[in-house]
Each structure stands twice: as C-alpha cells, then as structure tokens.
Amino acid sequence: MVQSTCSHAGKSVLTAALLRILRSRGFHAAPFKAQNMALNSAVTRAGHEIGRAQAFQAEAAGIEATSDMNPILLKPTGDSVSQVIIHGKVFASMSAREYHSFKKEAKRFVAESFERLANEYEVIVIEGAGSPAEVNLRDNDIANMGVAEMCDAPVLLAGDIDRGGVFAHLIGTLDLLSPAERERVRGFIINKFRGDIGLLKPGLEFLETRTKKPVLGVVPYFKEMLLPDEDGVALDSNEPAGVSAVTIAVIKLPRISNFTDFDPFRAEGVDLRYIESPSYIEGADAVIIPGTKNTVSDLAWLKDRGFADALRSFRERGGVIFGVCGGFQMLGREVKDPFGVESTKVTEAGLGFLDCVTTILEHKKTFNVRASLEFDGNSFDAAGYEIHMGETTGRLTPFCRISERNGEGAEVLDGGVDGKVYGTYIHGIFDNDAFRRSFLDMLHGQKGLPARALTSFAAKRDEALDAWAALVEKSVKIDEIMKIMGLGLNA
C-alpha cells in the first residue's frame, strides 16, 4: 500500500508506476483505492462511476477498470456534504458527520471489492487517501491504515519534498501512528526532488537513524509526464506553457470536476490556463466552461464574478466558447433544481447563449458512450462518458448523435451549437484525436496559422507513463520493494 504524509504528494502516480513496472515484469496486477474523495471521475464500460485516478491506474496495469478498484467515491457538493457513490452507483448524500458514522457499515463494501480483486489478480497495489495521521478520523478508518490492516498490506510512506519540510512530515506522521501501524510501514519514498542528491544525503541518514526504517528511494520531480492529476490542488501550480500559437482559458469553477478533460491540450503545446477572473479572458482564443459538481451554485458564482458580461463580449468578438456537462448546462437560458438536489434555490438564470433549459433530476446518469459528430466541415466518430443529473431540452442544433451507451445501441441527440458556442454532456471529448485536431485547426485558422499534424494523445500519455515508470524504477530500490511485496528478488 502506498500512503503519504498529505494530499497531492504523488500517491496516484507512484501507484501507477508500480503497476506499470509489475506489468513489464509479467505480473497480473490491479489498483485499489478503498475510499476516494475526488471530483475527477470516470465511467467504466459497465457504466459505473469511479475515481479518474483508478481508471488511469488500470490503464497503467494494462487491464480494464471496474468499480471494485474504487468501491467508495465521495464527490463533494458543498463544504460539508458529499455524494456517496458505492460500487459505481449513487448511494446517498451525507454530511461529514453522517459519513463518519456510516464508515463502519461501509467497511463491508470495501472488503467485498478487495476480495473479488484478490481472487482475480496476482498483485494489488493499494493507494491511500490524504494522510494516515489524521487522528480524529482513525475510528473505522477505511482509507489508510484501516485498509492496510484489513488487507494485511505492508506500507510505503511517501513524502513531497517539493513542498518543504519533508523530514518533519515523515517523522511526524510516523510518530502519530500506533505501534502496530508504525510496524506496518516498511520504508519511505521521497517524491518530487529537485537539486543535488548529495546535499540530501545527511537528511536521509538522519531519517533512517531516527526511525530505524529505510529510505527506499528519492524520485526526481518530473513535470513532463502528462499524467492526470487527481486533486484540484494541481490547478494552483500550473507552470506556464511558454510560447504557444493558441491560448485556451478554462474557468476554474469552485467545484470544478473532471478537469482532466483538458489534459490532451497539454500534449499539443497549447497555452492552457485555469482562470478565476474574467480579466484573464483577454488574449484567449477559446474559453471552456468545465464540468462541476454543483451547476446551480457555480453558475451563480460565475455571474457574480462578472464572467457573464465578459463571455458575452468575447462571443461578440468572435471568440469560441465550449461548455462540457455542467458548463453546457450553464450556456442555456435556465437551470432548474426543483428537488433541491444541488441547492435551496429552485432556479438560476443561465448565460442564454443556447436556447435550452436544464432540470436537475434526482437520479444520476452514467454512461460510457460512442457518438458521431460534424465539426468545422468534418465528420468524426468519438468516444467518452456521461456523468450528469441534469436533463436538457430546447430548440437546439445538436452537437453530436450518441449511438451507444454502456455497450448497447442508442439514439440520443447530445448538446447544442449556436455559431461558435458549443456544448456537450460528453466528458473526454477532447481525448478524441481527430476531433481535437479539428478544434485546434479552427482556432489556428482564425489567426491565419496553418493546420498542424495529428497527435495521438493516448500514445503520448503511454510514452509518458513508460518514461515515468522507468524513472521510478531507476530511482527506488525496486528489488527491496518487490521483496516487501512478497514477490522475491527474482521477480
């Protein structure tokens, strides 16, 4: 099990690297994260919603993602309320206190999923959540040490040195664990290191002497890996893309979800900016309104911030506006919430760019989909997934036609188009290389720039994953880690 001293320390990508290494050595391995709190999610082929990180980890392992890899997914809808998804389907909405009381019951869902995985795979790499040292959450823990104990898994404890204070974080975390939990920790991995390893050695020696546990590796900071981030924290630390022909601004909504939808642009050299002020629309070639876990509240926030007027002016100047899922809903005339699913407010006026109205319903739709669309004079087949509780109706020119949902034939008109305003419910639409290239060619054409060659995002990400796994394998004592996993030195 990979745990860490805090969120965004690299647990997800370290887990993915270990899975890719195991795959390269011939092991049939799978990821497992008992409880995941994230607004980045994916839909399995069976139509089950899981954390996006576990879908990516399954990809790293070369296997198909299932809901057992993330039996409990928490999607925050407010500051202290989350939608609880169990085995891929909505179970309930709970306050933090209600969920804390529910964890004892939830433990059985975790055990069921782990048992099924254990019967199917040779090796399971488990990812923790946040920090195991949250002493107030220790009772009925189903995220960190409680899972390690349930599965009898040895633990690797990772620390993020890029944030500073990594030795205090590692020693302090260990100190707050019970004696049995400390015994379960078999060593440390220091992640995101930049600089001269020689200057770090005194600290490593101190850590090993103080804790009587080995440092199993120091992994360099690797900013070029194009691997998906699970936490919205990542959006706070975007590094400039440098000189770029095209600039795309994504509005960073308070409850932004599935921001990995836009990772493919990172592979294209696009200047991708996450913005919280309408002033940053200036100079953008396209503005994207992303998905959100709370369309009503985030729509009100967007208007309060002045984005409505800024987007209206941007549209009048010929700018391209694209809405995905909740962003698509905001483009309409109105969003209604008659059942109080997201808000106490029954209705919220939309931006009015598309002639449609969305009603938030009580039941969520989760589909893995295939669709056909026409864009900028070209026809495309595309794949992606839907995750939404809203139903949108109106006089719309559809964005695409969905032909398959969860492996079964379907005939559904999706989204809407009005001039250079586009909306769709399909997450992952920009993962489709031919469509993404057409979208970028349109933006290049508006600036009098030539079209560019088609790029395979899946191939680039796979190359990046291979490079990341190779870097991790080189940077850690992999034979010791394999031995800790019970796989022996000759694995």
Give the active site residues: 325, 427
Kind of pairing, strands 334-336 and 356-375?
parallel
Answer positive or negative: Cα dihedral of 249, 252, 253, 258: positive
Q: Taking each helix axis from N to C terminus, what angle separates 11-24 and 457-475, rounded to the nearest 10 degrees?
A: 90
Contacts of 119 (CB under 8 A, 6+ apart): none
- For residues 323 and 289, the answer to whether their CB atoms sit within 8 Å is yes
Continuous segment of H or E residues that includes residue 101: helix 96-120
- Number of residues that make up the chain: 491
Q: Which residue has the tokens 């940077």?
A: 475
Grouping H, G, I as helix, E, B as strand and the rest as coil, residue 221 is coil
Give the CA count within 13 Å in the CB-facing half-sphere of 242: 3
Give the CA count within 13 Å in the CB-facing half-sphere of 173: 25
Residue 333: burial class (beta carbons within 10 Å; 0-12, 13-18, 19+): middle
- For residues 370 and 381, the answer to whether their CB atoms sit within 8 Å is yes
The whole-angstrom separation of Cα 216 and Cα 203 is 14
The whole-angstrom separation of Cα 407 and Cα 358 is 26
- For residues 235 and 275, the answer to whether their CB atoms sit within 8 Å is no
Q: In the sheet where 72-76 sits, what is the strand order?
A: 35-37, 72-76, 81-86, 89-95
Torsion of CA 182, 185, 188, 189, to 10 degrees: -140
- For residues 287 and 314, the answer to whether their CB atoms sit within 8 Å is yes
Grouping H, G, I as helix, E, B as strand and the rest as coil, residue 421 is strand
